[in-house]
Structure 1
Amino acid sequence: MTVDTHHHLWDLDVRDQPWIVGVEMEPLRRDFRPADLQAALKGSAVDATVLVQTVADPDETPEMLVLADTVDRVVAVVGWIDLTARDARERIGRLQTHPSGGWLKGIRHQAEDEPDPDWLIRPDVLNGLAAVEDAGLVYELLVRPHQLPAAIKAVGQFPQLTFVLDHCGKPAVATGELEPWASRVRTLAAFPNVVCKLSGLVTEDDWARQPDPVRLLPYVDVVVEAFGPKRLMFGSDWPVCTLAAEYGQVMDLARQLTAGLDDQQRTAVFDATARAVYDI
């Protein structure tokens, strides 16, 4: 059994995806609906998936909750609320009491797009994180390397809140840089309440040169050493990954990059850790 902890769905007739900008992103400017997901999963060992938000729109999360009710293999939702809102607790509460609210397992915001590198430790955001903690949800960190210091400070203030680092913190794979990303990731991993998604690396590299385990292995080695297999989870980042590699290629690549782990450790990365984090 395998859990894919990170994928998206969208319908451009319902909602624009304003982050799809530029000629190089044009392959994503189409609908990716449940039938497309099922086609991508065909022949894989994936039996459960986590559907993750794509835009800062309060209407998207309820729609994703309904999808979790109806789409085969979708077993958890990571949604969005405005963490800076004074009524953040009430907003989370409304999602949890939605008829399909039981699928909501986490909250995420595209902090990577915030111009303030310290956005995560603004007082209003910290109040929002406290609301996530009180609701018993996880919070997903979508940050770039220069935002990791703020993430480290935020994590330190919420030892009871489980944080999930998306896409390994988006290292600069395309330029071959390890630092300062590696040192910051190790500092973040020292907090036992942080889990890391082994996801999104193919699109941090030169897309035309992917999939390439040799180029990605140094980054995987860092997170495996820092977090350990029991705090790592596989994620495809489909359909964004298709800019560089198809679903099956991403899965095969993840297995190649973790070939040095024993069977129990690989089970943690591809299945057990995700089921514990998302309570599935």
Structure 2
Amino acid sequence: MAAANENIPIIDAHIHLYTKDDVPTFNWCSPDHPLAKQQSVEEFKAATEGSTPSGFIFIEVNRKFDLESGAQDGSGWKEPLAEVAWLRRLVAGEPQEGDGYTKEDAALCKGYIPWAPMPSGAAVMEKYIERVKEAAGESWPKVRGFRYLLQDKPNGTMLEDKFIESLKLLGRLKLVFDLGVDQHNRGRTQLEEAVEMIDRAHDNVPEEDKVVFIINHMCKPDLSVYNTQTDTSFIAWRTAMFTLSKCSRTYMKLSGGFAEMPESLRARPHEQIFDALTPWFTVLLAAFGTDRLMFASDWPVCGAAAGDDAWHKWRKLVERLCWMASLEEAEKRALWGQTALKAYGIEQ
């Protein structure tokens, strides 16, 4: 099988970058975690050698924050704003010692998605966005939206009135929301809440002001399911995908699969992995089409799950999808990068 993306530029729509000095600022990382080490542009280029994308979208790394002190005096926003300042240097091509990138790497960052205190409501969000503008400086046009990771938050968080207020504010400002939920570990409730959240965020809002949702990692389905004809979790996920896709302002990232499949499957050749994932890939392609489905790797998280060659292995899975689905040239270009640029509002 020839490479489906041969001569087609790749935009990786979901990567995380950080230095080894940043690790203590993360909410999720212990010193013995496999990702508790430098994972910057230098390491990304090494992991993708031979097929390094022409660009990427940086997604916030879930640093420590405090909503209460952030709303009061901004002190709870220190680490997320430090991340923005680091990205400002990347975009400006002004690396400091230990940043892990060169001046020439600046062109790779097509856009970035910082953290935001979404549960705090629109008034606090407006103050926070001003702080982001200050920290971002000349890189502010690269800020295409925000994320507040919901996969580990209590049920109901995304349905609170203040959260909906914040989403409507992003829509008015033409900023996207990156949505991270987890069906595998949290069950169908997160899918049902995501559907309701989008409905409420768009309710009585003019079409041009409706916030764009870019959904991470296929909503993290359970990829250990064997019988997809009868399994209730697969059926719930499939139903949610078609429901979410009915909204024209939702996009889906074809990413994150390695973390949701059993170790025995991850270790197999990519052809066998593809066969196992075909039911999920088929649903996503049918529901969203290539005009709202985008390639993304979730690097370096994918490597923690599937090893050093994880990025290339995931790329081969998506290449096989292009081949099996007999995608036309324009459809391939959309899936590999054009859809990401469109969804994030990045000039081409």
The TM-score, its normalising length taken from structure 1, stands at: 0.92
Q: Which residue is equivalent to 1:103? A: 142
> Unaligned 5+ residue runs, structure 2?
1-8, 64-78, 94-104, 203-209, 227-232
Equivalent residues in 2 for 1:33-52 (5 A)?
Answer: 33-44=40-51, 46-52=53-59
Q: Which residue is equivalent to 1:74? A: 109
Q: Greater Rg, structure 1 or structure 2? A: 2
1:179 to 1:19, Cα distance in 2 relative to 1, 3 A:
farther
Equivalent residues in 2 for 1:193-204 (5 A)?
Answer: 193-204=249-260
Q: Which residue is equivalent to 2:212? A: 162
| Structure showing the higher helix proportion among its residues | 2
Structure 1 residues 8-34: Cα deviation after superposition (integer angstroms, max 9, x where no partner): 0122323423324697xx322222122
Superposition CA RMSD, Å:
2.0
Q: Which residue is equivalent to 1:29? A: 36
Partner Cα distance (1:235, 1:189) in 2: 18
Amino acid of the structure 1 residue aligned with 2:283:
V
Structure 1 residues 71-106: Cα deviation after superposition (integer angstroms, max 9, x where no partner): 341111011111122410121233235312121012
Matched, 1:181 2:247: no
Question: How many aligned residue pairs are there?
Answer: 277
Partner Cα distance (2:259, 2:22) in 1: 26
- 8 Å contact kept, 1:92–1:135: no
Amino acid of the structure 2 residue aligned with 1:231:
R
Partner Cα distance (1:67, 1:185) in 2: 35
Partner Cα distance (1:251, 1:231) in 2: 18
Partner Cα distance (2:234, 2:281) in 1: 11
Residue 13 of structure 1, aligned match among 16, 21, 26: 21
Q: 1:252: Cα distance to partner?
A: 1.2
* Runs of 4+ residues over 4 Å off in structure 1: none
SS in 2 for 1:233: strand
Q: Which residue is equivalent to 1:252? A: 316
Matched, 1:114 2:153: yes
Amino acid of the structure 2 residue aligned with 1:8:
H
1:80 to 1:143, Cα distance in 2 relative to 1, 3 A:
same
- 8 Å contact kept, 1:6–1:49: yes
- 8 Å contact kept, 2:23–2:29: no
- 8 Å contact kept, 2:23–2:36: no
> Unaligned 5+ residue runs, structure 1?
none
- 8 Å contact kept, 1:68–1:76: no
Amino acid of the structure 2 residue aligned with 1:228:
G
- 8 Å contact kept, 1:65–1:104: no
Amino acid of the structure 1 residue aligned with 2:39:
F
Q: Which residue is equivalent to 1:276? A: 342
